[in-house]
């Protein structure tokens, strides 16, 4: 097994929400520029990489355009520091599925909510939950 050292830094607020909060469900009301989208991406990668048993995760966003944008902006740069795609991690663009270590993350958009069901996710992150859940 390959060991990878990653320097992932969280703000105090990010650390409190992702690691210290013991509540099963967390709703964080915040404004832009707080960095929770970046922090959530870091948390997902760290959780997947460190999982000792299979871990199913869901990243939900309002549109598929946003899902792709956030994957390329926040996930891909960290993943590339881990190693080349196909060796230590794999992203299936057609299925919008990331595999890393024992973790699998599905990326879904609210414009196709039927694709969110039936996977028994351990962790769910809804980016822009207010927009996703407005109806």
User: How far apart, in whole angstroms, are the C-alpha atoms of residue 49 and residue 4?
Assistant: 9
Model pLDDT for residues 4-59, shown as the tens digit of each residue: 667 788 888 788 778 877 777 666 666 666 678 888 999 999 999 989 999 999 99
pLDDT for 135? 61
Which one, of 24, 19, 15, 23, lies nearest residue 122 by Cα? 24
Q: What is this structure's pTM?
A: 0.83
User: How far apart, in whole angstroms, are the C-alpha atoms of residue 32 and residue 30?
Assistant: 7
Contact 67, 115 (CB under 8 A): no
**pLDDT mean across residues, the chain:** 84
Token pair for 122 = 């351990």
User: How far apart, in whole angstroms, are the C-alpha atoms of residue 90 and residue 113?
Assistant: 24
pLDDT for 133? 73
Torsion of CA 10, 11, 14, 18, to 10 degrees: 40
Token pair for 112 = 């196709």
Give φ, ψ of 111 to 5 degrees: -75, -10
Contact 5, 46 (CB under 8 A): no
Model pLDDT for residues 115-125, shown as the tens digit of each residue: 777 778 898 88
């Amino acid at each position: 097994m390959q060991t990878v050292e990653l320097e992932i830094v969280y703000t105090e607020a990010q650390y409190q929400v992702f690691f210290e909060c013991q509540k099963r469900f967390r709703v964080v009301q915040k404004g832009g520029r707080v960095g929770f989208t970046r922090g959530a991406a870091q948390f997902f990668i760290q959780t997947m990489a460190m999982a000792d048993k299979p871990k199913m995760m869901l990243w939900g966003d309002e549109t598929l355009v946003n899902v792709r944008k956030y994957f390329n902006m926040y996930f891909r740069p960290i993943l590339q520091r881990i190693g080349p795609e196909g060796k230590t991690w794999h992203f299936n663009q057609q299925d919008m599925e990331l595999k890393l270590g024992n973790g699998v993350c599905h990326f879904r958009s609210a414009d196709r909510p039927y694709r969110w069901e039936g996977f028994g996710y351990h962790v769910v992150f809804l980016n822009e939950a207010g927009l996703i859940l407005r109806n």
